């Protein structure tokens, strides 16, 4: 359940950032987005942080939950399945990293427009990233118990 919550936070931040990037580049195509860090450094920085969180790197919560998931798999003797999952995670990581690097540092085909939405659209993104860091560093008191109770109810 912790993994689902962390994943939802990272994807939500990326979804909100995708809207800003789409408005700036006037395209929904990943291939059209290049050099994001130049004209939109704050958006690019937040996009990078959210992608690193989604990739499961520390200090974000997905790293913590993935370590718990893979650790449980190895502890329970599911070595082959867990190792396969870990290998697939590395492949996904490589693909995401390559695409992210190109989007952030490639040469833009066009100079993107600067969307003038102000600072408020950044607030939910920053809150999501902050929560991802907090769940990666330390669980708030009572959160683990609450998630355990929810998991018990869901399992029946």
Domain extent listing, the chain: 2-155
Whether residue 131 contacts residue 8, with contact meaning beta carbons closer than 8 Å, is answered with: no
How high is the pLDDT of residue 85?
95
Q: Which two tokens stand for residue 24?
A: 């700036």
For 8, counting Cβ atoms within 10 Å of its Cβ (0-12 exposed, 13-18 middle, 19+ buried), the class is exposed
How high is the pLDDT of residue 117?
65
Whether residue 104 contacts residue 46, with contact meaning beta carbons closer than 8 Å, is answered with: no
Query: pLDDT of 87-132, one tens digit each?
Result: 999 999 999 999 999 999 978 777 777 666 677 778 999 999 999 9
Q: Report mean pLDDT in 10-residue bins for the chain, 156 residues.
A: 87 93 87 88 93 92 88 92 95 93 84 69 91 84 76 80
pTM: 0.81
């Amino acid at each position: 359940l912790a993994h689902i919550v962390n994943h939802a936070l990272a994807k939500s931040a990326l979804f909100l950032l995708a809207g800003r990037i789409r408005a700036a580049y006037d395209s929904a195509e990943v291939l059209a987005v290049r050099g994001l860090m130049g004209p939109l450094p704050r958006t690019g920085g937040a996009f990078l942080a959210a992608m690193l969180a989604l990739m499961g790197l520390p200090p974000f919560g997905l790293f913590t939950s993935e370590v718990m998931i893979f650790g449980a798999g190895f502890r329970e003797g599911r070595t082959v399945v867990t190792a396969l999952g870990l290998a697939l995670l590395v492949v996904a990581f490589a693909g995401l990293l390559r695409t992210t690097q190109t989007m952030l540092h490639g040469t833009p085909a066009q100079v993107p427009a600067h969307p003038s939405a102000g600072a408020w659209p950044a607030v939910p993104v920053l809150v999501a990233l902050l929560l991802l860091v907090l769940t990666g560093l330390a669980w708030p008191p009572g959160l683990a118990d609450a998630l355990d109770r929810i998991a018990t109810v869901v399992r029946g």
